[in-house]
Amino acid sequence: MHSFSQSAVTPSSDAYAIVTVRGDVDRDTAGRLWQYLGYLIVQGHHHIVLDLAGMVLIDSAGVNVITRASAWARQDGGDLLLRSASPSVVELLELAGLSHDQMTDPPPGD
């Protein structure tokens, strides 16, 4: 098991908040990611990029958090994009209903 951490750069409420995820996102750590993403959304950050380059493993609990956070951000007029996801993670998230369009970098300058 790899330790889990996340950090964010939140320039302003109308720009993308960049959340870097490291380690495992599993049943033991998914709740922390959900709380973190929920906090950002409640604070007005409805455009979020999850940088998954440092993510080692994701299970169904982690997939659930990402799909729920994506739906919440869209409901509030925003979006959740994924950056640097491995091919196996992309496949899992597409099976869970996220579109391939969400797995790109944000527009330049954001």
Q: Give residue 76's region: left, alpha or beta (phi > 0; psi -120 to 50).
A: alpha
Contact 80, 70 (CB under 8 A): yes
Considering the entire predicted model, what is its pTM?
A: 0.83
Q: Is the CATH code 3.40.50.720 the one for domain 5-102?
A: no
Record the tokens describing residue 48, joined without a space.
Answer: 């979020």
The domain ranges of the chain are: 5-102
What Cα–Cα distance (Å) separates residue 30 from each residue in 3, 15, 109? Answer: 12, 25, 30
pLDDT of residue 107: 47
Handedness of CA 49, 50, 53, 59 (dihedral sign): negative
The pLDDT tens digits of the residues spanning 18-73 come to 999 999 999 999 999 999 999 999 999 999 999 999 998 999 999 999 999 999 99
